[in-house]
A = this chain, B = another copy of it.
Amino acid sequence: MAPARDSSSLLREAGLRATAARVALLNALCATHKPLKAAELRRSAGRGMDLVTVYRAMDALEKAGLAKRIGVDRTSASWEFAHRAHHHHLVCRGCGELEDVGECAVEGLEKRVLGKSKRFASVSDHSLEFFGTCRDCASAARAA
């Protein structure tokens, strides 16, 4: 999925400088339909940028609302292009492979959840992940 307008314009419209690193990262992000980790982003962006730059740039993209951070596991973060329909993820317990799950059956549950809580003032957001085994890991396990 290429962005509606080129990445530089998107960046500038979001109030960010259209630097080479950010453009490359945003392109990489748009080109993929699954969340990318910092190291994958650097690889996909294809110009030897520092990992630190990836983190800082993604931080900027995130604040500007162009990228969305996915907190699937506790070992490393991933990001995906933000201008996408709300959806969830399927995660492999073996290799960490990620796949999108199109539908969201949880919309509208947030209010109910908040209503039952005494300690919370608001609920803005939710995340739903399904865990399982991808075919590769399943056959690897069978072979072992």
Give the B-binding residues of A (Cβ under 8 A).
Answer: 71-77, 90, 92-93, 97, 99, 101-102, 105-106, 109-110, 113-114, 116-117, 119-135, 137-139
Q: Identify which of B77, B101, B110 contacts A113 (C-beta below 8 A).
A: B101
Tell me the minimal C-beta distance from A117 to chain B in angstroms. 6
Q: So how many copies of this chain end up in the complex? A: 2
> Given the complex, which residues of B lie within 8 Å of A97, measured CB to CB?
119
What is the CA–CA distance of A123 and B97 in the complex, to the nearest angstrom?
13
> Given the complex, which residues of B lie within 8 Å of A129, measured CB to CB?
126-128
Q: Would A99 and B128 be within 8 Å (CB), given that A105-B105, A133-B122 are in contact?
A: no
Q: Would A90 and B123 be within 8 Å (CB), given that A74-B71, A77-B74, A113-B101 are in contact?
A: yes
Q: Would A121 and B113 be within 8 Å (CB), given that A74-B77, A105-B105, A105-B106 are in contact?
A: no
